[in-house]
Structure 1
Amino acid sequence: MVRYRRNFVPGGTFFFTVTLDDRESSALVDHVDTLRNAFRVTRAERSFTVDAIVILPDHLHVIMTLPDHDSDFSGRWRRIKSLFTHGLATSGVPVTRNHRGDFALWQRRFWEHTIRDDTDFERCADYIHYNPVKHGLVAAPADWPYSSLHRYVRAGVLPSDWGGAGEINGNFGERGN
C-alpha cells in the first residue's frame, strides 16, 4: 500500500476536493445553508480564509488559506464534515450509518494540493469556477449559484462572462469527466 503524505505548511494555501460517499447524492446543494453554517462555525472556531469555492451536488472544491503558524487543515475538514452531517441528521434528513455505526455521508479522505505560486493559484481557481460547466450542470460558470465566481466578478477580478467560451483542463481529485 502506498503511504500518502500530506504537505502540512503553516500559513499555507491549499486546494481541496471533498466528496460525498454517495456520488449520486445532491445533499450539498440541497442543504447548502447547512454546509455554509458548518463553514461559518468552523471558521469562527479555527480561522481560515476561503479564497475560492464551488459547491456541487456531490462534492466541493475549495482553496483555503490557513493562518500563520497553523497547518491543521485536516482538523478543519473533520469539523466541517461533522457539523454538516450532524446538521442534516438533527433536521430529520436520513443519514446512513456504516457497519461501525458511524455516519457514512462523506468519503473518508479528501484530495489536497499545496498552492505553489500565483500561477498555480489562478489555475486552481479557474478550475473551481469552471467546474459546474465541466460537469454539465450549467452552460456558463456564472449560471451556477454556489460559486465564489460571483465574488470575483463583484470585485472586478473576473468579467461576468468569464469561462463562457473556453475550457479549463485538469482533473483535481475527481474521477472521470
Structure 2
Amino acid sequence: MVLYRRNFLPGGTYFFTVTLFDRRSSLLIENVDVLRDAFRVVRKERPFEIDAIVILPDHLHVVMKLSLDDADFAGRWRRIKGHFSSALLQAGVNLARHSNGELALWQRRYWEHTIRDEDDFARHVDYVHFNPVKHGYVRSVRDWAHSSFHRYVRLGVFPEDWAGDAGGSGDAFGERAEGD
C-alpha cells in the first residue's frame, strides 16, 4: 500500500489536479455552473483564493492559496466534491455507483503540489492555462472558455495571443510529445 504524505502549510499556495472516476466523462463542463457554485459555497465557508483554474471535461487544475492560519485543503476538496455531487443528484443526474453503493463520480485521491517560489508559481499557472491545448481541445489558450486565462488577459497579465497557436502539437510546458 502506498503511504500518501501531504504537505500541510498554513497560508500555503498549492497546485491541484482533481479527476473524475470516469476519465471519458464530460460532466465537469456539462455542469460547469454547478461546479462554480460548489467553489463559491466552499470559498464562503472556508476562504481561499483561486490564482489559476481550468475546468476540462473529466478533470480540473487549480492553483489555490489558503488563509494564513489554515492548512486544510483536504477539507475544502471534500466539500467541493460533495457539494457538486449532491447538486447533480438533486438535479436528477444519474450517477454511477461502486458495488458498495458509494458514488463513482470522483477519483478518491488528487494530485497536490506545494508551490515553492515565484518561478514554480509561474510554471504551474502556465501549465493550468495551457492544459486545454495540451489535451487537444483547442488550438489556442484563448479558445477555452472554462479557464482563468481570460481573467489574466483582462488584468493585462497576458496578451490574448499568449502561447500562440499550438497547431495540435500539445507538447509545451514540459509535457512529452506522443511516443516519447
TM-score between both structures, scaled by the size of structure 2: 0.93
Alignment of 1:1-177 (within 5 A): 1-165=1-165, 167-170=172-175
* Per-residue Cα deviation, 1:16-60 (whole angstroms, up to 9, x for no partner): 000000000000000000000000000000000000000000000
Q: Which runs of 5+ in 2 are unaligned?
A: 167-171
User: 1:165 offset after TM fit, Å?
Assistant: 4.7
Distance 1:165 1:107 in 2: 32
Alignment check: 8 A CA contact 2:139 2:165 kept:
no
Aligned residue identity for 1:120: D
Aligned partners of 1:127 and 1:170 also within 8 Å: no
In 2: Cα distance, 1:95 partner to 1:153 partner:
36
Task: Please tell me the residue identity of whatever aligns with 1:28.
Answer: L
- Alpha-carbon deviation of 1:2? 2.9
Return the letter of the residue paired with 2:36: R
CA distance in 1, matches of 2:154, 2:129: 14
SS at match of 1:108: coil
Mapped to 1, the partners of 2:165 and 2:30 lie a distance apart of: 29
User: Are the counterparts in 2 of residues 35 and 84 from structure 1 also a CA contact under 8 Å?
Assistant: yes
| RMSD between superposed Cα atoms in Å | 1.5
Residue type at the aligned position of 2:173: I
Shift of 1:169: 1.8
Distance in 1, Cα, partners of 2:45 & 2:78: 13
Kept in 2, the 8 Å contact 1:53–1:148? The answer is: yes
Count of residues in correspondence between the two structures: 173
Q: Partner amino acid for 1:50?
A: I
Q: Percent identity?
A: 61
Within 1, Cα distance between the matches of 2:124 and 2:139? 20
Give yes or no for contact 1:14–1:64 (8 Å, CA) kept in 2: yes
- Measure how far apart 1:93 and its partner are: 0.7
Q: TM-score, normalising length from structure 1?
A: 0.94
1:125-147, CA deviations, whole angstroms, 9 ceiling, x for partnerless residues? 00000000000000000000000
Moved over 3 A (4+): none
In structure 1, stretches of 5+ residues that fail to align are: none
